[in-house]
Amino acid sequence: MAMKQKFHIAILPSPGISHLIPFVEFAKRLLLQNNNFHVTCIIPNNGPPSKATKAIVESLPTSIDSIFLPPVSFNDFPNGIVPILQIILTMSRSLPSLRHVLESLVSKAHLSAFLTDLFGTDTLDVAKEFNIPAFIFFPSPATVLSLFLMAPKLDVTVPCEFRDLPGPMEIPGAIPIRGKDLPEPFQNRKSEIYKCFLNLAKRLTEVEGIMVNTFTDMEFGAIKAMQHQKGEPNCIISPPVYPIGPIIQTGSSSDDHGSECSTWLDNQPCGSVLYVSFGSGGTLSTEQLKELALGLEMSGQKFLWVVRRSNELPSAAYLNSQLSQGDFDPSEVLPNGFLGRTKGQGLVVASWAPQIEILRHGSTGGFLTHCGWNSTLEGVMFGKPLIAWPLFAEQEMNAVMLVEVLKVALRPKASESGLIGREEIVKVVKGLIEGEEGKRLGQRMNDLKDAANRALSKDGSSTRALSELASKWQNLEASK
C-alpha cells in the first residue's frame, strides 16, 4: 500500500517566548487534526536561546523539527536598543541565514506553505524567491489585526497624532478605540518605530491568508469585517482570515516552583486566590511594585504573585532572560516585612510560575494580568475573571476589549502620574474575589469559556477554519 503523502510547512516566529509558544502550539494543533503534515520551526536569535526556549524546543513531537538561525549582532547599537526594534531588526538581519535554510529544505522536499508573523513580513521576499506560498500567523486579537490592516489608510486620512483625536477611532467591525489606547508604536507618528510598523502593515495584504489566534464568538465583529467581500460596506481589505484559536500552551512543568505552587493552592479554599502575573516580559517600577504589594496585603485576600525585579521600562524583561527567568530573592524588591506579614495570606515566587497549572486549579478565583494575548486566552480557557493591568504592546487595546466589550475584567484607575495606588488595588481585588461584580464577571467569563470550547470542538468554528486551511495547503501543493 502506498504511503500517504506528507505535506511540509515551515514556520518562523519572531523572537520572544510569547511569539514562539503560539507558533509551536499552532503546529501541534495542526498535526493533531491532520497527521499528514510535517513542520519545521525556524527560530531567529539575537543571542544564546533562553532556558525556556530550549525547554519548549526539546519537548517538541517528532513531526516538528527545529532549526536555530545564527544569532544576529547589534554591535552597531552600542547604547542598547528597545525590545520592539530588536525584534524587527532580528528578523530582517536573519534574511541571509533564512535563505540558506529554505534552500536546504526545498532541496529535500516541497514546502506547501511558509508562515511568519507581523514582524517577519520582510521574510516574505525570501519565500517568494523559492515560490513557497506565504501566510501570516497573527498570535494577537483580530481587533488588533484589523487596526494593522487599516493602518495605511488611517495614516493618510488622520491629520493629527492618533492620541489627539477628539473621539474614538472607528475601525470596521471592531470596538471604537481611543487614540491613547492604540499600541505604543502608534503613539508617535514621527518615530522610526511607527514608520517600521506602517511598512510591516502595508505588506499584510501580500500573503495568501492570515491565521488569527482568536475565535468567532469572542471577536465576531472584527472577524466578520475582515471576511467581508471587497466593496461591501464595513469591510476591511484583507487576504482570507482564519480564526483558529484559542491556541494556548499545552504540557506542564515539573519545575520546583510548580510543585510549590500546587501544594500551596491545594491548601486554599475554592476560588479564594488571586493569581498575579505580568507575563514573560512585563516589569513594574520600584514605586509601583511597592504599591501593588501593599494593596494586596491590605485587601486581606489570598494571592499567588510572580514577582520580578523592578525596572522603569515596562517591557524590560521581554527579551532579557536574566530578568524574565533569573532566580533572585523577592525580599530584595518588596517592602520591609511584607513576606513575613503575608505568610499565611499569600505565596510569592521569583520570576516564573507554572501559569497553566495555577489557572486550572480550583482554588484560583481570579487573575491580575498585563493583558498579553497568551495570558488573556489562558484566563478565558480556564474561566477566570480578570483584573486588567496593561503594560505595553497591544495590551491597552486588549484591556479595553476585556473591560468595556466582553465585560470579563475590572480595571484599576491610575493617578495622573500613571501610578496605581494601594487603595485602588484593594478596591479591585476585593471586588473581583468577593464582590457581586466579581461574581457577574465570573459568570460572563464562564460563558466565554464555553464558547471557546465549542469553537475547538469537532465541528466548531475554529476546527473548521483549520481544516479549510490544511485543505488549501494540500491543494496548493497538488497544483504545483
Q: Identify the pLDDT of residue 312.
A: 84
**What average pLDDT does the segment 224-253 reach?**
82
Highest mean pLDDT pick, 3-17, 77-91, 443-457:
443-457
Quick one: pLDDT at residue 327? 72
Instruction: Decide: residue 80, CB within 10 A, 0-12 exposed, 13-18 middle, 19+ buried.
Output: exposed
* Residue 2 banded pLDDT, cuts 50, 70, 90: very low
- Give the tens place of pLDDT for each residue, 42-81: 999 988 888 889 999 999 999 999 999 999 999 898 788 8
C-alpha grid cell, residue 340:
513575613
CB atoms within 10 A of CB 190: 7
Q: Tell me if domain 7-248+458-478 and domain 256-454 are identical in fold.
A: yes
Q: Is residue 323 scored above 60 in pLDDT?
A: no
Name the band, by pLDDT with cuts 50, 70 and 90, for residue 381: very high
Is the pLDDT higher at 250 or at 300? 300
- The one-letter code for the residue type at 117 is D
Question: Worst-scoring range by mean pLDDT, 98-102, 280-284, 334-338, 441-445?
Answer: 280-284
Band of residue 157 on the pLDDT scale cut at 50, 70, 90: very high
Q: What's the rounded Cα separation, in Å, for the pair 304 and 57?
A: 28
For range 450-468, the mean pLDDT: 97
Whole-number Å distance between alpha carbons of 89 and 74: 9
How would residue 1 be classed by pLDDT, with cut points 50, 70 and 90? very low
Scan for cell 491543494, then name that residue.
Answer: 475
pLDDT at 321: 54
Smallest Cα–Cα separation from 69: which of 15, 108, 114, 150? 15
| Top-confidence residue, 295 or 230 | 295
Name the average pLDDT for the chain.
92
pTM comes to 0.94
Q: Specify the CATH number of the domain 256-454.
A: 3.40.50.2000
Tell me which residues are annotated as active site: 19, 117
Q: Measure the CA–CA gap between 65 and 275, rounded to whole angstroms.
A: 34
Predicted local distance difference test score (pLDDT) of residue 81: 85
Residues 265-277 pLDDT 10s: 999 999 999 999 9
pLDDT value at 351 more than 90: no
Number of CB atoms found within 10 A of residue 142's CB: 29
Q: With beta carbons less than 8 A apart as the criterion, state whether 361 and 343 touch.
A: no
Name the nearest CA neighbour of 451 among 295, 219, 240.
Answer: 219
Q: Is the pLDDT of residue 293 over 90?
A: yes
Domain residue spans in the chain? 7-248+458-478, 256-454
Confidence of residue 328 (pLDDT cuts 50, 70, 90): confident
User: What is the predicted pLDDT for the residue at 287?
Assistant: 96
Three-state secondary-structure class, residue 37: strand
Query: Sign of the C-alpha dihedral, residues 29, 32, 33, 35?
Result: positive
Q: How far is Cα 124 from Cα 220, in angstroms, rounded to an integer?
A: 29
How many whole angstroms separate alpha carbon 408 and alpha carbon 377? 12
> Residue 206 contacts by C-beta under 8 Å, 6 or more apart in sequence?
121, 124, 134
Q: Name the class of domain 7-248+458-478.
A: alpha beta
Strand, coil or helix: what is 303? strand
* pLDDT tens for each residue of 182-215: 998 999 999 999 999 999 999 999 999 999 999 9
